[in-house]
Structure 1
């Protein structure tokens, strides 16, 4: 019981935004995971890029803030991973990541 009481009253417990902020941000990860089934043409390159930058900045914040917010760090690391995957899908769909064929004749 004392562990539970300590967690409830801790600086990162459920009485603070250090807890509820990351819990709410897991919605971004869930939405990106749901979009994996969508065709790449349906993805927004601009929004996905913004989400990558947002998660990178928030990961730094979660690491630098005292007390360190490991829940927020894990949330944004997961979001960064999924968003980078979505960005690669979008770039392939737009033709940015195609392999270039060597058109020079062999000597």
Structure 2
């Protein structure tokens, strides 16, 4: 609490005026509005588009601008890997890129200031990572043998042979089932 009300009381008592306590006490919901003449501050001049960008919270003066610029290097490196064969790509590395892109894309919409430039680069990082992971997984599946469709066909023909044998010789099929 300041000493101002007491000072006003003694000043008013000396001059013979009635003390005014209530005029200086304001509730938290009231506030005194100062005019431009009282503050001696000139109103801000309108800025050009470049100066608004340059002085913005995500402008080139901040890390919020330069971090996405550097991260585009990861995206471009991933795009350059599209030309490499899938056997020479690392699954764990590309899964890390994919996860990083997904997590940070979401996070860019939560943090303040909201940085859409950083969200865009992280989204593209997720897209590049998921494309590479898909290429690697398809390559690994092709090394194991046939595709899923041909594996299903093989399993179906094996089951059809078992059913045909059971229809021709039910007792033999029962004995084979007991042995297995």
Normalising by structure 1, we get a TM-score of: 0.91
Aligned to 1:5: 51
**Aligned counterpart in structure 2 of residue 44 of structure 1, from 84, 90, 110:** 90
Written as runs of structure 1 = structure 2, the 5 A alignment for 1:65-84 is 65-84=111-130
1:22-71 per-position Cα deviation (integer Å, ceiling 9, x unaligned):
01000011000000000000100011111111111111111111121100
Q: Which has the higher contact order (CA 8 A, sep 6+)?
A: 1
Structure 2 spans left out of the alignment, 5+ residues? 1-46, 164-180
Greater CA drift, 87-96 or 13-22:
87-96
Structure 1 spans left out of the alignment, 5+ residues? none
**Aligned counterpart in structure 2 of residue 86 of structure 1, from 120, 126, 132:** 132
Tell me, yes or no, if structure 1 residue 15 matches structure 2 residue 15: no
Q: For 1:50 and 1:63, locate their aligned partners in 2 and report how far apart those are by CA, in whole Å.
A: 21
The alpha-carbon deviation at position 17 of structure 1 amounts to: 0.7
- Higher Rg: 2
Tell me which stretches of 4 or more aligned residues in structure 1 moved more than 3 Å. Answer: none
Q: For 1:56 and 1:66, locate their aligned partners in 2 and report how far apart those are by CA, in whole Å.
A: 18
Q: For 1:70 and 1:99, locate their aligned partners in 2 and report how far apart those are by CA, in whole Å.
A: 40
The alpha-carbon deviation at position 95 of structure 1 amounts to: 1.2
1:5-28 per-position Cα deviation (integer Å, ceiling 9, x unaligned):
111000000000110000100001
**Aligned counterpart in structure 2 of residue 34 of structure 1, from 80, 84, 88:** 80
Tell me if structure 1 keeps the 8 A contact 2:98–2:128: no
Tell me, yes or no, if structure 1 residue 99 matches structure 2 residue 148: yes
